[in-house]
Amino acid sequence: METGYEIIFNWVARMVFFGIEMMGEVPFHTVYLHGIVRDIEGAKMSKTKGNVIDPIEVSSEYGADALRFTLVTQATPGNDSRLSIPKVESSRNFGTKLWNATRFALRSLGDHPISVDSEGPVRPTGDLALADKWILSRLDQVTRSSTRLFESYLFGEAGRQIQDYIWSELCDWYIEAAKVRLRDGASGGDVVAQTLAYTIERSLRLLHPFMPFITEALWQQVPHVGKSIMVTPWPRGDEPDSKAEDEFAVLMELVRGIRNARSEAGVEPARWIGADIWAGEYSQALQGSRTELSVLARLADDHVMFHEGAAEKRERALTVLAGPVVASLPLADLVDLGAERERLLKDLEEAKTERGRAEAQLANESFISRAPEKVVQVQRERLVLASDRIATLARRLEDLGSA
């Protein structure tokens, strides 16, 4: 039975006693207690207070799936939850993300043959790329985890894990990696299509209890078996591939590191750069995913070099670390060295001027004795920030080869 905790004694307990008295058995063995849905401030909704959120109006504007997903994922058994429109809007955006990802997958299937058995798209096997092994392993992991959470009545956490998998891993990483292989017309196009069909269809099944309308609509369009997603079996997760997850995690960390280095150096997004990479034990995995790495990190493929042995310190280069993997990015590929040096020197002079002003204020005994402590503290913080900026700019100039 599912009910609110505030009536457990004056209603639920009496139902149990009445069932034992009249029927000789308890009417239910499990009671799931949900909390009260409150407003964003934690106050109980009341027409008198004017803080009532009408579910019909919210569903009309954002969709019933968005409201349902918000309510379920922010709830924990027995605890009250706070509802706000921005949270519902975020859930709607998640539904839009899923819709776009599925539409991309459908376009990508094209003329590729998709194998289907009695349970839906067949799990791809054979010569799989690292990205394929990784997303299949992550699907197995979230399937097993969400199943365990459902059995423990932790529906909110199950929904949050499924959302994180679909948004952050399937959409943001695998589909972006898949675009690279599909665009280049690589021989693995059939494998990519089969993997997309399998992971999208299984993901829709996992999400169906939380967002039943959009998942039904999308499931009817992807390769499937059966009349409705409502009566399909719950997915089963195989044993995760820890090796593939570890290797792809390093690739993601390397891509993030290179992107951050590009951003800090002010490199134009469209500019392709070179890189020297010492990958050690991950060399085979990264070289096997060389195309994905190059496109996702905007590296010019013919200027990416993998090296054996220990990493070497390169002059005028930025270093990116991803676990044991070291990447060296030549500054000459990143920026106009002369213009960058001039900009850094200008910023350094401004930082020194700022530090001088703060030091002068703090050296003024009259100011220290008369000014409020908060004002003095502001000058101390100003001095620290200026000193830190000077140190950072000095390191950048050193990387450029300046004295």
Question: Is a pLDDT exceeding 80 seen at residue 344?
Answer: no
Average pLDDT over residues 11-29: 91
| Structure confidence at residue 186 (pLDDT) | 55
| Structure confidence at residue 333 (pLDDT) | 64
Please provide the CATH number assigned to the domain covering 243-334: 3.30.2320
Global pTM reads: 0.81
Q: What is the pLDDT of residues 191-211, one digit of tens each?
A: 999 999 999 999 999 999 999
| Structure confidence at residue 59 (pLDDT) | 95
Considering only residues 270 and 176, tell me which one the structure prediction assigns the higher pLDDT.
176
Whether CATH 3.40.50.620 fits 2-82: yes
Rank 239-253, 264-278, 303-317 by mean pLDDT and report only the highest.
239-253
Average pLDDT over residues 213-220: 97
Band of pLDDT at residue 256, cut at 50, 70 and 90: very high
- CATH 1.10.730.10 residue ranges of the chain are 106-238
Question: Is a pLDDT exceeding 90 seen at residue 268?
Answer: no
| Structure confidence at residue 402 (pLDDT) | 42
Question: Is a pLDDT exceeding 70 seen at residue 97?
Answer: yes
| Structure confidence at residue 400 (pLDDT) | 65
**Average pLDDT over the chain, rounded to whole?**
89
| Structure confidence at residue 19 (pLDDT) | 93
Query: CA angle, corner 327, sides to 325 and 329, nearest 5?
Result: 170
| Structure confidence at residue 233 (pLDDT) | 94
Considering only residues 78 and 228, tell me which one the structure prediction assigns the higher pLDDT.
228
| Structure confidence at residue 216 (pLDDT) | 97
Please provide the CATH number assigned to the domain covering 106-238: 1.10.730.10
- CATH 3.30.2320 residue ranges of the chain are 243-334
Structure tokens at 150: 């459902």
Average pLDDT over residues 376-388: 89
| Structure confidence at residue 184 (pLDDT) | 64
Region of poorest pLDDT, from 19-23, 224-228, 279-283, 389-393: 389-393
Of 207, 209, 204, nearest in space to 223 by CA: 204
Average pLDDT over residues 213-236: 96
- CATH 1.10.287 residue ranges of the chain are 337-399
The CA distance from 254 to 272, in Å, is: 16
Rank 5-19, 40-54, 150-164 by mean pLDDT and report only the highest.
150-164
- Which CATH number fits the domain 337-399, given the four candidates 1.10.3470, 3.40.50, 3.30.70, 1.10.287? 1.10.287
Question: Is a pLDDT exceeding 90 seen at residue 185?
Answer: no
| Structure confidence at residue 366 (pLDDT) | 86
Average pLDDT over residues 323-332: 85
What percentage of the chain carries pLDDT values higher than 90?
54
| Structure confidence at residue 247 (pLDDT) | 96
Average pLDDT over residues 160-173: 96
For residues 280 and 311, the answer to whether their CB atoms sit within 8 Å is no
Average pLDDT over residues 9-33: 90
- CATH 3.40.50.620 residue ranges of the chain are 2-82
Question: Is a pLDDT exceeding 50 seen at residue 403?
Answer: no
